[in-house]
Amino acid sequence: MAKDNLILKLDSLEYRLHRLNNTLDEFQPRLNNTTKVFNAKGKKTSKRVAKLLEQDDLEAVSRQLDDLKCQILLKKTFHLKSKVLATFERSLQQQLDSLQKNKNPKNGEKLKVLKTIEQRFTLHRFAEMIAVSKVTKAVISKLAPTKALKTNPPKWLAESGYVRQFQDKNDFNNPSKIWNETVMSIKGCDKLLSSTMNTAKFKELFDTFDRSLDVLSGKRKEKEAKGANATTGVAEDSLNSIGSESEEEEDKSSNVLAQPRRGQEDVDDEFLEEQILKQYEGMLVASDDEIDEQSDYALDPNVNYNEVTDEERSEEEGESNSESGTEQDDKAANRPPLKVHKAHNLPELMIGYYSGGSDDERDVVDDAVAAEQASNQSKRKNRRGQRARQKIWEQKYGRHANHVQRQAQQEIAERLKKKEEYEQRVAKRQARDRAQQAAQPEGQRGSGGYSKPETSSQPARDAPIHPSWEAKRQAEEKEKNAKFQGKKIVF
């Protein structure tokens, strides 16, 4: 079964509550998908959302919101209490076992405290009371830190029972009552409790719980808004130092960055990204690849490329360059003489070049023959199989081949093994026969083997015969003595 997204439900109910109170400008969603749901562009979704919003009632939405917040708080406190209980009980049990195993006079007082807790409460019950006390104090310090909130807490916090549990001194789970009647009743228990709870594991548990309650109090949204404002402030300072094209563009871009996401239909993620990137246009440094590409195309000023190439300048180029040549000649006179490079004689193309391929390059790739000719590496032949290699060896070496000799040796070894097994069976049989003959009296000894008892072939005549057998015997005798009474037919 899929888990309910309680945070999305919480955002949804708060959006509906702000809408009923006409305070949507103050609504800051916890999830980005919340505004997308209520400002969907699809026809079916928009109709379903509109129908849901039309049926809203202020009292019903407020009640649902309080119930949901109370449910989230109870789930979080139950999870924290389970973790603290298991960790604290395991820590106490480990300390008790180690102190009992390695007795030391210095730790005698600590061992005495643990034994007293075990005898009076049991470690599990003591850890459970401490866990409830710590969770109650963590909830009140986070959600109701002031006296006004303790006397008049939110409805969902009052329904959770933690405020009453904290204020009622007669409550069984009251932190003050647990401290006075449980911890302080045992000498040295407060030191044991403080040394055990002031560890990194418990600090991490309570810090995580404290941050998770920001979802209910709404402080997380304020922190995110502050972080967004800080980033936009840095961007605006950098833009002002560099200088933008116009003041209007600065105002538009800063509004886009500073404006929280409230679900406008015309503003989507792509538009926001484009606006953000426009602000930093011209501020990005080229990557290493781009620098390498630019450096590859740079010309060397010390090389006279007119001497290297085989192309001749046209007359128009010569006339245009002659006008500017007078100015360059004055500069060239002051320069040191350049080194003369030998001209490179490039071969002229007498015949047009033909690649040998068709317009479609895929034909060359698909052609297996062309691929083989293009590759200079010779293909590695597959190795012959074992049976093929053995046949070659048989033709070359005959019965002196290694595998043939190994097979012959294996057959000889198998025959010898079978012969030895047969001889062992025969020897066992003969030994068994000799033992049986030695066990029989001398008069009853035979030639060997087992002797069968003598059985009479004729049954005893004196024994009575069953009436059914007698009737059957008489019927068989009548059939034997019956005369032929048939009629002979000639065809």
User: What 3-state DSSP class applies to 353?
Assistant: coil
Q: In 3D, which of 258, 117, 81 has the Cα closest to residue 191?
A: 117
pLDDT number for residue 102: 85
DSSP state of 264: -
Domain-by-domain residue ranges, the chain? Answer: 57-220, 243-297, 387-428
What is the dihedral sign for C-alpha 148, 151, 155, 158? positive
Instruction: Read off φ and ψ for residue 39, nearest 5 degrees.
Output: -120, 40
Report the alpha-carbon distance of residue 28 to residue 34 in Å, rounded.
10
Q: How far apart are CA 187 and CA 194, in angstroms?
A: 13
Contact 144, 150 (CB under 8 A): yes
Instruction: Give the CA angle between residues 296, 297, 300 to the nearest 5°.
Output: 95
Contact between residue 209 and residue 138 where contact means Cβ atoms under 8 Å apart: yes
Specify the pLDDT at position 164.
87
Cβ atoms within 10 Å, residue 70? 19
Cα(205)–Cα(83) distance, integer angstroms: 8
Distance CA 211, CA 114 (A): 33
What would the two tokens of residue 198 be?
């002031």
HSE at residue 213, side-chain half, CA atoms within 13 A, is 20
Q: Which residue in 199, 201, 176 sits closest to 80, CA to CA?
A: 201
Residue 84's nearest CA partner among 178, 209, 249, 240 is 209
Query: What global pTM score does this model have?
Result: 0.44
Q: Give, for all 491 residues of the chain, the pLDDT tens digit.
A: 446 678 888 878 888 887 788 887 777 887 777 777 777 666 677 777 777 777 778 888 888 888 888 888 898 899 999 999 999 999 999 988 888 888 888 888 888 888 888 888 888 999 999 999 999 999 998 888 888 888 888 888 888 888 888 888 888 889 998 989 888 988 889 888 888 888 898 999 989 988 888 877 665 555 555 555 544 444 444 434 434 443 444 344 334 333 433 443 343 445 445 555 555 555 554 444 444 444 444 556 666 555 554 444 444 444 445 445 545 555 555 565 555 555 555 555 555 545 555 555 555 545 666 666 666 666 778 899 999 999 999 999 999 999 999 999 999 999 999 999 999 999 999 999 999 988 887 766 555 545 555 555 555 556 788 999 999 988 988 888 777 677 777 87
**What single-letter DSSP state applies at residue 184?**
T
pLDDT reported for residue 232 = 46
The pLDDT, as a whole number, for residue 262 is 41
Quote the pLDDT of residue 459.
Answer: 54
Task: Write out the H or E segment, with its range, that includes residue 381.
Answer: none
CA nearest 390: which of 382, 381, 378, 399?
Answer: 399
pLDDT, position 247 = 40
